[in-house]
Amino acid sequence: MLAEIEQQPEALERTLREVLPRAEALRRRLEGRRPAVIVLVARGTSDNAATFGRYLLEITTGLPVSLAAPSVTTLYGAAPRWQDALVVGVSQSGASTDVNVCLETARAQGAFTIGVTNESRSALAGLVDEVFPVLAGPELSVAATKTYTGQMLGFYLLAFALGAPLDTERLREIPETAEAFLSLRSEVEQLSERYRFMERAVVLARGLNYANALELSLKLMETCYVTAERFSTADFRHGPIALAERDFPVFLWAPPGPTAAGAAEIVEKLGELQAETVVMAPVDSPSLAKATRSIVLPSVPGERVARPADLYTPIPYIIPGQLLAAALAEQKGLDPDQPRALRKVTQTL
């Protein structure tokens, strides 16, 4: 797992180099005939990447985006009307049965289909109109890391293809930024020692980084066997904040931009409840002064001029979370590459 975390800059660079020309060609192809709606189909970590995709696509293209419920098709036999829709299947292996059934059904009804997968020769790749490959190379750890960030990059490229005003130079800076975030490894490993006996926690974020809260929570559950609930900071205030008590661990991202003020407010409230907050934020974040502990994040190119300011933060921001899960698993004497009861490819209908 740790080796694959460290491979991410190279994997991102390779994916960008290969897929950006495809995105540019698709952008020309779709000029004047964009879809009316986008539907994303995924499971597991890929579903977390799709949650990021939903935020990114709606913010940058204005198109409505839905996350599909595959069982609507696979268990209930219903056939939603897919005409004029873009249906995107997201799967590391390309072998997720329910994702593939949904894609096949949608394409048969006239939807334009795209596959985002790390296996360009997979069943999924053979079902879709267009493939956006994730060129992460073989991922041996059951806990996905480099395929998650590769899928996120795929959504930036898809947004660009759909006409989003993304700066391709900023996209080209993502691999180098990811490299800078890997320098947090030693600091995160030291921090993980404190949580060796942690059994439950909450992970929070909002907006474009909300998917990272889902993903860190999943990593803590599958590699460290920690009961990790995850929420939008907004949803957390609507009830689950009652979980918080003295020394209760809460991990939270506080990026610049529209979500910064809300993050600072929730950190302050958690401080009043004497919860233990671990805030991951840039050096000028107002949340850092109110945190119990912190991971000060490197700056992300473009965050001073991007609209919104957190537009290019999600890929590098997950890296300290991945490092934390890997380090904490080691602290607990667990093997994050082979979590109990899990396999790399999970097939469901």
d(CA 260, CA 88): 30
Q: Which of 235, 239, 249, 247 is nearest to 207 (CA)?
A: 235
Report all structural domains of the chain as residue ranges with CATH numbers, in order of start. 2-172 (3.40.50.10490), 181-331 (3.40.50.10490)
- pLDDT for 274 equals 96
| 270 in Cβ contact with 242 (< 8 Å) | no
CA distances from 180 to 9, 57, 234, 300 (A): 9, 26, 30, 9
Alpha carbons 298 and 316: distance in angstroms, whole number: 9
- Yes or no: say if 114 and 88 are a contact pair by the CB < 8 Å rule: yes
| Rounded Cα–Cα distance for residues 259 and 313 (Å) | 12
Residues written for the chain:
349
State the Cα–Cα distance between residues 21 and 117, nearest whole angstrom: 17
Q: What does residue 239 show for φ and ψ, rounded to 5 degrees?
A: 155, -55
Q: How far apart are the first and last CA of the chain?
A: 28
Q: Tokens 């985002």 — which residue?
A: 116
pLDDT reported for residue 15: 97
Q: How far is CA 102 from CA 41, 113, 115, 130, 133, in A?
A: 7, 10, 12, 16, 19
User: For each of the chain's 349 residues, which pLDDT tens digit applies?
Assistant: 999 999 999 999 999 999 999 999 999 999 888 999 999 999 999 999 999 999 999 999 999 999 999 999 999 998 888 889 999 999 998 888 999 999 999 999 999 999 999 988 899 999 999 999 999 999 999 899 999 999 999 999 999 999 999 999 999 999 999 999 999 999 999 999 999 999 999 999 999 999 999 999 999 999 999 999 999 999 998 989 999 999 999 999 999 999 999 999 999 999 999 999 999 999 999 999 999 999 999 999 877 778 899 999 999 999 999 999 999 999 999 998 887 655 545 555 5
The C-alpha atoms of residue 331 and residue 197 are separated, in whole angstroms, by 9
Burial of 344 (0-12, 13-18, 19+ CB in 10 A): middle
Which of 53, 201, 184, 37 lies closest to 112, judged by CA? Answer: 37
DSSP strand pairing (37-42 vs 65-67):
parallel
Residue 57, burial from CB neighbour count under 10 angstroms (0-12, 13-18, 19+) = buried
Using an 8 Å Cβ cutoff, are 134 and 90 in contact?
no
b/e sequence 100-121, b meaning 16+ C-beta within 10 Å: bbbbbbbbeeebbbbbbbbbbe
* DSSP 8-state class, residue 112: E
